[in-house]
Structure 1
Amino acid sequence: MSNFSWKAAVETNITTLKILGLWPKGDETYKLNFYTLYAVFGVIGLLCAHSFVQIFNIYFIVDDLEAFTSSIFVTLSCLGTVAKTYYLLQNMQMLKELFISINKDIFQPKNNKQILLVEPSIKFWQRFYLIFRVLCYCTTFFWSSYPILDKWTKDHRLPFLAWYPYDSTKSPFYELTYIHQVVSIWYLVSASLNIDMLIAALNMFVGAQCDLLCDNLRNIGQNSKEIGKNLVKCIEHHREILRFAVQSNVFFNLIVLLQFFTSAVSVGFTMFLLTIVAPFSSQFYSFICYGSSIITEMFIYCWFGNEVEIKSNAIPYAPFESEWIGVPIEVQKNLIIFTIRAQRPLKMSALNLFYLSLDTFKAILKTSWSYFTLLNQANSN
């Protein structure tokens, strides 16, 4: 049976990161070449520059509640993407090693039945990727075009409130600045959503490996010699799953923590802005799309993290569905020792402060509602 390519399952995600300059070709990391120069231009010239001018502008609008709220949630998203990109680049060597290890023999499906077992998880991830990408790109379209659609270009209104060391309302500075903001926000959104889906893919891989391990344990063999040999392989497989999960968690620990904080604030601010902007304007639709994409983003993190916990929790029960009753006592003891060690389910977390679970998702939504209530009350007063 030919090897199953786990990396091919997320090829679109990886290809987009390559286009953005955030994924060197093959199994390499960054070197002194043209691609590294291209990556530096994208990260500094687009991502960091766009974030800096918005951060600096906060100082001038902090006393204007409407202007502040319409700017701060975008600024937080920009800062969150800068942090994601930094940790992606910092841990590139680790990520490359993870994607090499995922195609090792021990992680391979053993037969067509096991391929069919993991395909639903992969297809579910791919559907989420499509939905999330549509929401993000719709948001970006409205952000980029609402000054034109709402006929604010006559007032030389830019898509985003920002400070520049020149008069951005005069031609040709206005046109050049408009183009830079549009290109930057498309780059920023593409980077953010693909890093998010890369993290979801890592969790999806862990969950799928738990499914494979459970199937191997259920079909561990028919005689004592075969069971003993396959049990050793299952124990090694379990250790590799734990190692892969720990290394993945090290990569996205801080990313998830920052994302939960910025998402909770952003959703609250977005709900508040929906109450003060003109209904059914392009800006109104941009807030609808943005709020939906942020909620979807949080849900993706929590759903795939929750799947890891549920699937890993099934591991200690899988051996008891095998033909273990008639095997020698020594093999039964080894099975019991393994099930005891596998009792603790895998939990993906953000620095062990928050676990990626549906309960955490509900807690974030409650926090966002609290922010909205506070802002709405402050605006009424």
Structure 2
Amino acid sequence: MEILPLCFKFWTICGLWRPVRYYSSVSKFFYDSYSCVTVLVLFSFTLLEFVDIALNFGNVDDFTSNAFLFLTMIGVCYKVAHTFMKRLQIICIRDMLYDEICRPENMEEQRILDNCANACRSNTVNLGIIIMSSIVFFLVGPLLHDVNDRVLPFRAWLPYSLSSLPVFYLTYLHQSLAIISAGLVSVASDTFISGLMIQACGQLDILKCRLANLHESHNFEMAINDTFHREEAILKMCIRHHNHIFKFAALVEKTFNHVVLFQCFISAFVVCTTTLTLLNHQLLSIEFITIIVYFLSIVFQLLVYCWYGNEVILKSIEVTDAVFEMDWIRLPASMKKDLIMIMMRAERAIKFTSGYVLTLSLDSYVAILKLSYTTFNVLQRSS
């Protein structure tokens, strides 16, 4: 079974992940050229937004009206660069989930992995719908104006005049391609990281399942010693599986913690700036609805991180309960000691953090929203 196929497909569309089937030099050249064009469109659009922000830095209203999108584009550019630089680590993380010890051994374990795959797919689709809906509103809004007004979807500094209609349409196309690519990159990157958290939860559920069913390996036709030897082999596999999950989580943490930190910072600031922007638009106008949908996409991105980070914490602690609830009384002393070691290690919960600063949990989610509200009050008073 493929791991997070939708995320890799979106990365491929954005030019960030060349498919393995492109093995010929010609196909590699064309895809690499396509990647260069995509990245150039994204970074050039971000640069033009930065210049506009710099020129309007003294005006709070102009700054906040464009800052939320600029920060999002900065985050997207960082995710693009990170995906290119961490390609080998991403492949290594994916291969860890293909390890034999992580593969299902029965229908119950297969069901657990299927549920994880469905959750990952659902998050990707839901976030994709929300982000693409906001992009559609952004792009459709200017079309409601007269074409002679030359209204672009986004504010940006331009080194040329829009008096010519072909130039206007080319600029409109540039911004459209940039924002669509940015949306796909955000969906792929954010749901990939949260998807890895879901996979970690699935592996912890499989581990608990194997521990709980350890006593079911007993067969009355087998000798007692043979039964204990079999159970001991299964227990050793569980210990290796537990260690494998810790290594997997540590590698994910090392690879993506700075991306998560950047996203949390951006989300906190974007939530307050979009709220400020809403105050300047008429209720139920196309601009108001656009900002609302964009606001929901940012909140959902942050929620996905914190929700599944919290789930990993809870499920890693539940391993201790699975050990205690199993039929451990009849086991020999050596196996009981191994179980105690598993319980002691499970007491240290697996945690995903943002930059080793903020633990991803529901408490952190509430704290970030409170910080956004505080920042909103400060900006509102200064405007």
TM-score bucket of the superposed structures, by smaller chain:
over 0.9
1:159 to 153, 158, 167: 153
Deviation at 1:63, TM superposition (A): 2.3
Deviation at 1:37, TM superposition (A): 2.0
| TM-score, normalising length: structure 1 | 0.93
Q: CA RMSD in A?
A: 1.9
Query: Are 2:48 and 2:156, in contact at CA under 8 Å, matched by a contact in 1?
Result: yes
Deviation at 1:274, TM superposition (A): 0.8
Segment of structure 1 superposing worse, 292-301 or 333-342:
333-342
Query: Are 1:200 and 1:300, in contact at CA under 8 Å, matched by a contact in 2?
Result: yes
Query: Are 2:7 and 2:192, in contact at CA under 8 Å, matched by a contact in 1?
Result: yes
Tell me what 2:189 maps to: 195
Tell me what 2:221 maps to: none
What does 1:229-378 align with in structure 2 at a 5 Å threshold? 229-378=233-382
Distance 2:91 2:123 in 1: 23
Residues 86 and 229 (structure 1), Cα distance of their counterparts in 2 relative to 1, 3 Å cut: same
Deviation at 1:47, TM superposition (A): 0.9
Query: Are 1:6 and 1:102, in contact at CA under 8 Å, matched by a contact in 2?
Result: no
Residues 323 and 26 (structure 1), Cα distance of their counterparts in 2 relative to 1, 3 Å cut: farther
The count of residues paired between Structure 1 and Structure 2 equals 371
Tell me what 1:177 maps to: 171
Deviation readout 1:331-370 (Å, 9 max, x if unpaired): 2122112221222010001121011111111011111111
Tell me what 1:48 maps to: 43
Deviation at 1:227, TM superposition (A): 2.0
Is 1:111 matched up with 2:106? yes
Deviation at 1:296, TM superposition (A): 0.3
Query: Are 1:219 and 1:322, in contact at CA under 8 Å, matched by a contact in 2?
Result: yes
Is 1:33 matched up with 2:37? no
1:23 to 14, 17, 20: 17
Ranges in structure 1 where 5+ consecutive residues have no aligned partner: none
Deviation at 1:28, TM superposition (A): 9.2
Tell me what 2:209 maps to: 215
Query: Are 2:68 and 2:274, in contact at CA under 8 Å, matched by a contact in 1?
Result: yes
Deviation at 1:184, TM superposition (A): 0.9
Query: Are 2:207 and 2:241, in contact at CA under 8 Å, matched by a contact in 1?
Result: yes
Deviation at 1:214, TM superposition (A): 0.8
| Identical columns (%) | 28
Deviation readout 1:132-166 (Å, 9 max, x if unpaired): 111101110111121112x1543212111111211
Distance 1:196 1:27 in 2: 25
Deviation readout 1:300-359 (Å, 9 max, x if unpaired): 011111111111111122122222111211221221122212220100011210111111
Question: What letter corresponds to residue 99 of structure 2 in structure 1?
Answer: K
What SS does the corresponding residue of 2:118 show, helix, strand or coil? helix
Tell me what 1:205 maps to: 199
Query: Are 1:132 and 1:297, in contact at CA under 8 Å, matched by a contact in 2?
Result: yes
Residues 196 and 23 (structure 1), Cα distance of their counterparts in 2 relative to 1, 3 Å cut: same
Deviation at 1:261, TM superposition (A): 0.6
What SS does the corresponding residue of 1:160 show, helix, strand or coil? coil
Distance 1:374 1:230 in 2: 58
1:139 to 134, 141, 160: 134
